[in-house]
Amino acid sequence: MIKATFHKYLLNFKQASGTSRGVLRTKETFFLILSEDEKQGIGECGLFRGLSIDDRPDYEEKLTWVCKNINLGLETLLSEVIGFPSIQFGLEQAFLSLKSKDKFTLFPSDFTSQKEPIFINGLIWMGDKTFMKSQIQQKIKDGFLCIKMKIGAINFEEEINLLKYIRSEFSSKDIELRVDANGAFQPKEALEKLKRLAAFDLHSIEQPIKQGQLQEMASLCEVTPLPIALDEELIGVFSVTKKQELLQIIQPQYIILKPSLVGGFTGSNEWIQLSEKQNIGWWITSALESNIGLNAIAQYTYTLQSKMPQGLGTGGLFTNNFESPLEVKNGSLQYNTANSWNFNLK
């Protein structure tokens, strides 16, 4: 018999982090702990307040139900929590963790045995021009070959100047540039802004307009001078039919998969299969999980063998994260087996 409990945990940011949705100082998350005989399994349910579709008043009630009914088995539980993608993801992790040798190696590979890293983008948080410029300089110094800049919160002309500054120092051969608008542009102005951004030889732009405007997004993707990646657009789309429909209508150049927001490994795999049928590119991104969730996402991502830089490696943002073998080095996420895990909820 498996026993299950869950624990709420508040991650504290080292410094307030700016997004187009406001400034983040803390991030709430939940850990699902399974025990059977002498073994333990851990999964992180990475609820993202204000963004997750499962940011609902009955979230903890659902987790309580999951713990009471844990012996229904993974498949049944996943189908019972369809509207709660972060709980689905936590369940997948916890069951894999329970079966693993050391509860942290969910997908043994050349990544977990320290033979190969995962190349990632360096994330530039929003802030004033000086703060953003200092971050850019640091990321380049840290060996990142791909930088992702969040835009849409400060003045657009200032953001254009920041991109000008990067491109005056580094060509697209030296640094790949991605921008993430988090839906900040109005549909009427979006194309004009995309034309101006395209001058900087960018890799892509994430979610230029708010999700849920399918026809407007489809029109943009059809004429855009700059590849568009869907991100928030995928949140809350659960059935395979609806996923297929959304991709067929919009026909984006890329999709971005956050396992905590799209139903874990199962949900991500569905999106990948559908997008590949339509020649749509994809990459995986973490969503401010602790090192427990990030570890699961990284190990899963490595198994997919994508050659693109992934959106991982946010574990260093928090003051009270858990010590782990994960480390960001030379623009990549690495699994350093010399560092051990310390998962302590106190």
Q: pLDDT tens across 246-260, in order?
A: 999 999 999 999 999
Residue 20 scores a pLDDT above 60: no
Q: Which CATH class is domain 118-335?
A: alpha beta
- Residue of 62, 148, 150, 193 marked catalytic: 150
Angle at 291 between CA 285 and CA 297, to 5 degrees: 35
Active site residue 68: no
- Residue of 258, 277, 307, 329 marked catalytic: 258
Angle formed by the axes of helices 187-198 and 156-169, nearest 10°: 20
Give the model's pLDDT for residue 109: 98
CA gap 315, 320 in Å, rounded:
10
* Nearest of 148, 219, 217, 147 to residue 185 by alpha carbon: 217
CA separation, residue 124 to residues 20, 152, 153 (Å): 13, 13, 13
Active site residue 307: no
Residue 128 scores a pLDDT above 90: no
- Tell me the domain boundaries of the chain: 3-99, 118-335
Q: 3-99 architecture in CATH?
A: 2-Layer Sandwich (3.30)
Report percent pLDDT > 90 for the chain: 82
- Quick one: average pLDDT of 277-296? 97
Give the model's pLDDT for residue 19: 62
Give the model's pLDDT for residue 110: 98
- Running DSSP on this structure, what letter comes out for residue 184? B
Residue 89 scores a pLDDT above 60: yes
Residue 204 pLDDT class (50, 70, 90 cuts): very high
